[in-house]
Amino acid sequence: MTLSQRRQDAQHDWWRGATIYQIYPRSFMDANQDGIGDLAGITEKLDHVASLNVDAIWLSPFFTSPMDDFGYDVADYRDVDPMFGSLNDFRALVDRAHALGLRVIIDQVLSHSSDQHVWFQESRQDRTNAKADWYVWGDPQPDGTPPNNWMAAFSGRAWTFDARRRQYYLHNFLESQPDLNFHHPDVQQAQLDNLRFWLELGVDGFRFDVVNYYFHDPALTDNPPMPRERVQLGNPQSYQFQRHNIEQPENLAYLERIRALLDEYPGSTTVGEIAGNDPLPTMAAYTAGDKRLHMAYTFDLLDSTGDARALHDVQARFAEQGDDTWPCWALSNHDVVRSATSWGEDHALLALTVLCSLRGSLCLYQGEELGLPEAELAYEDLQDPFGINLWPEVKGRDGCRTPMAWDEGTNGGFCPEAVAPWLPVDARHRPLAVAHQDADDDSLLARVRRLLQLRGASEVLRQGDQQLLEPSRLPVDVFGVIRTLGDQRLLCLAHLGRGNDAIDIDLATLDAGIEGWQSLELPGMTTPQAQGNRLSLLPGTAVWLVLG
């Protein structure tokens, strides 16, 4: 099928309620046996991804980069870094994914580039060159200090002095990741052109890194201090409320330009990462209507620990923003502790069952289907600058980025035994490997496949509205929603507590309209005991009830 034919036949809203599987290329599969994952390795293992009953893959960065931040420092937006392969390898990956019915979403890091990018190399030469204003430059204060008090995410000031220009440049992350100046129209257009390049190669959409970071306050106003009770003492940036370095009003207009471009490629989609101090309202604003992002996510759910009240509160705060929005919920990704650790390994399946009950699109992270816990690494094994700079208060992100476990060998089948992988394979991961779980029809992997198949086949779960059940109407440690589509209603309850004692729930107190119900068979969950409208629910289990 040609690109134009596929675009014409695409269901434009396939992404609404879809399940996306995130792949971290460095750690998925090493095909060329150098200890680093690559595009050919991903292509080799796409059958496994397709077997999960997901709709799309999201690839973290694979672009040309010095890898100071492992690809989130882009030196060439239109090429593949040689460690991952070539553009031909990428074309082969897209073709194989599409043949398996998987759409392909790729990362885009628009807010900042590598300091090795030709744009920055020209910009830093002097104040009069053609790209002099393509990055955010500021004059020193009279005492030589930086233009303002903004702090970077990876510790220290967000400004670095350049002797040639006698100015500071802004970097919200590493000093080797200078921020582009989106107030310059040529910068806006250049990044739109880069997006078009990948759309023409057949990608089905983009995940936008820190999508609320594109614009800054041109007056370079100081950020106010964060209330002390909200400060993370090991992270200097958390001492400030990020009011002026991110989330400027111009961002919305640029998102509309991005959406207009995507609309030229029917069936393509966008998902934005929203980081900041109050992200849920921003996520709602950025996905409102049909002229901005299709969907977005924050760290509110990613930072969850399986507490029923906290889970309710995240959903309630987002619901306050209105219905004209679309979230993409996840419990794990390349930036946070794996959900099998944050929720507890005994609740790995329960966590995904709760995730599948929520209104919105979903994202799973590689290895989540296996129940991989967060890897434990020694300081000398760390690669992530975030962890290296802030150790030991902040351990960084390497614990969730270790190689995928394909078999029970020393390197988990990720690379040959004689090759040292870029991060060590945690010994606890090997017994959870794909090959081992594939051989067991009742493994967590098998259960996750059935769970995602159930979610994917349910229009009420993919498309339906959501009514949150107030904690005051539920027993302690129970989370619940009612999903509705037309006359279809599905009650989803999960007992997130621990112990051995079941609790009784009177369904009539949850919704006066419940006149009868039928329990769906949830993978790995005990069939609920019921008497009339009273339901007995064990800790660590969930039920989905079709309501009459």
| Residues forming the active site | 209, 264
Q: CA 166, 167, 168: angle at the middle one, nearest 5?
A: 140
- 3-class DSSP state of 366: coil
Pairwise CA distance, residues 405 & 62, whole Å: 21
Asked whether the bond before 421 is cis by omega within 30 degrees of 0, the reply is no
| Beta-strand relationship, 19-23 and 361-365 | parallel
Question: How many CB atoms lie under 10 A from the CB of residue 11?
Answer: 9
- Nearest Cα residue to 416 out of 34, 85, 40: 34
- Name the helix (H) or strand (E) containing 122: helix 118-123
- Nearest Cα residue to 531 out of 500, 506, 510: 506
Length of the chain: 548
- 3-class DSSP state of 29: coil
Backbone phi, psi, residue 325, to 5°: -145, 165
| Tokens 């870029």 belong to residue | 422
Q: CA 235, 237, 243: angle at the middle one, nearest 5?
A: 150
Q: Which residues pair with 108 in a beta bridge?
A: 208
Q: CA 508, 511, 517: angle at the middle one, nearest 5?
A: 70
Q: CA 298, 300, 306: angle at the middle one, nearest 5?
A: 135
Q: How far apart are the first and last CA of the chain?
A: 43
User: Is the four-CA dihedral 77, 273, 169, 235 of positive or negative sign?
Assistant: negative
For the record, the structure tokens of 30 come out as 């090493």
- Nearest Cα residue to 71 out of 397, 300, 327: 397
